[in-house]
């Protein structure tokens, strides 16, 4: 139920259902039921014409022309239109053609694709300061998680990177998935812990590394189920690894409830168990390959237990931040230009960072493009 409805209609009885007496309006009434009907008002463009007038001076008869108004300088499109187009293009993954159709069908606006590109490019510039703030926070963080997804830019293969901490999310578009992207982003800063999968380019950027256990659990599952060799050879190693990973997951869920000494003891126990599993002989090639893979990551699996409450056992946070980029790739196939991919990353960086505080994407976009709406229109966004 709304606390501040736009209109209230009272429905009171006019005659007594028992004796038929008139129930005039002066009689007091009590509320016995409330129902609401919610609808959307018709939305139409608000067009304001700014006309410059000329006046003849009655004293010297000079023709005086009014000054050029500020609204007549630059784009004719207002901040809310910029915000709506940016929101639909970036966070609802609309192509330019579908964005044209949405603006036309919903708002009665007809804009060319070239006009939309210019509009979006202007809006992107408003988010660069926010991105710099997020990058600065990233370069001070003690725990950083990262992941990357493939995209297409100008028809060629490229990559969408994400780096995130407790108080910042940074997106960046790049032609490469190499370690140079991480080095340029971190600019010499080495956090205490780095969370990612085992991909080489995301190794060696922090003092310690927490490998995503969900990724390894998936590998263990594959080692058991991809081929029938494990079953026919009765090899127990993949099954034991999966049980070991489940024990780590269960412990990670209650890591903040345990004393430091208890965590240290459990970590030593888990490490010994893993050592035993990895040392188990196996005649299965897939099992031996899995053992070798986990052996290389052995000292990156239990970092979560040394940093209770600050380090996650999986990299699911990065994966969640990447899903919109993956959806964009599926829907629109490719960014038409590198500026579009970079601008998309700039907008997502600022908006996703602000979302950590609970703000909605559209409200964040509108406040960034037109800060004057923060107090006057924030409640309706």
As beta bridge partners, residue 152 has 157
Average per-residue pLDDT in the chain? 86
Structure tokens at 283: 């005649």
How many Å is the Cα radius of gyration of the chain?
30
Question: CA end-to-end span of the chain, whole Å?
Answer: 18
168 CB-side CA count, 13 A? 20
Confidence of residue 229 (pLDDT cuts 50, 70, 90): very low
Q: Is the pLDDT of residue 66 over 80?
A: yes
| pLDDT grade for 103, boundaries at 50, 70 and 90 | very high
Rounded to whole angstroms, the Cα distance separating 248 from 243 reads 9
Q: Write the DSSP string, 75-87.
A: -SS-HHHHHHHHH
Q: What digits encode the pLDDT tens for the residues 186-205?
A: 999 999 999 998 888 888 99
d(CA 200, CA 296): 12
- pLDDT reading at 181 higher than 50: yes
User: Measured in whole angstroms, how far is the alpha carbon of residue 167 from the centre of its chain?
Assistant: 13
Helices 338-355 and 79-91, packing angle to 10 deg:
100
- Which secondary structure element, helix H or strand E, spans residue 378, and what is its range? none
pLDDT > 70 in the chain, percent: 92
Q: What confidence tier does 306 reach under pLDDT thresholds 50, 70, 90?
A: confident
pLDDT given for residue 46 in this prediction: 85
Using the predicted structure, report yes or no on whether residue 124 has a pLDDT greater than 50: yes
DSSP reduced 3-state for 144: strand
Angstrom distance (rounded) from CA 185 to CA 139: 8
Gap between the Cα atoms of 146 and 320, Å rounded: 11
Supply the pLDDT for residue 373: 57
Assess whether pLDDT exceeds 60 at residue 330. Answer: yes
Per-residue model confidence (pLDDT) at position 365:
94
């Amino acid at each position: 139920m709304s606390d501040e409805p736009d209109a209230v209609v009272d429905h009171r009885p006019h005659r007594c259902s028992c004796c038929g007496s008139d129930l005039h309006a002066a009689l007091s009434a009590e509320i016995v039921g409330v129902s609401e009907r919610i609808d959307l008002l018709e939305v139409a463009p608000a067009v304001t014409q700014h006309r410059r007038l000329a006046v003849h001076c009655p004293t010297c008869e000079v023709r005086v022309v009014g000054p050029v108004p500020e609204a007549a300088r630059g784009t004719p499109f207002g901040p809310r239109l910029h915000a709506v187009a940016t929101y639909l293009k970036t966070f609802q993954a609309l192509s330019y053609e579908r964005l044209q159709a949405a603006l036309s069908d919903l708002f009665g606006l007809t804009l060319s694709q070239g006009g939309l590109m210019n509009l979006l490019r202007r809006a992107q510039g408003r988010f660069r300061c926010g991105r710099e703030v997020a990058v600065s926070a990233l370069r001070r963080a003690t725990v950083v998680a990262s992941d990357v997804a493939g995209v297409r830019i100008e028809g060629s293969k490229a990559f969408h990177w994400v780096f995130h901490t407790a108080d910042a999310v940074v997106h960046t578009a790049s032609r490469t998935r190499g370690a140079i992207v991480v080095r340029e982003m971190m600019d010499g800063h080495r956090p205490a812990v780095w969370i990612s999968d085992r991909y080489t380019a995301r190794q060696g950027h922090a003092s310690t590394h927490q490998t995503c256990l969900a990724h390894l659990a998936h590998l263990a599952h594959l080692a058991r189920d991809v081929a029938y060799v494990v079953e026919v050879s009765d090899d127990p190693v993949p099954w034991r690894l999966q049980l070991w990973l489940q024990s780590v997951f269960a412990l990670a869920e209650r890591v903040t409830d345990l004393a430091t000494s208890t965590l240290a003891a459990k970590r030593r126990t888990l490490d010994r168990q893993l050592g035993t599993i990895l040392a188990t002989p196996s005649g299965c090639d897939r099992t031996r390959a899995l053992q070798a893979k986990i052996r290389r990551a052995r000292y990156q699996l239990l970092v979560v237990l040394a940093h209770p409450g600050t380090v996650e056992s999986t990299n699911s946070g990065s994966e969640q931040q990447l899903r919109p980029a993956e959806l964009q790739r599926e829907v629109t196939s490719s960014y038409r230009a590198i500026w579009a991919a970079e601008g998309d990353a700039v907008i997502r960086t600022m908006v996703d960072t602000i979302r950590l505080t609970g703000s909605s994407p559209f409200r964040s976009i509108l406040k960034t493009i037109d800060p004057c709406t923060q107090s006057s229109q924030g409640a309706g966004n």
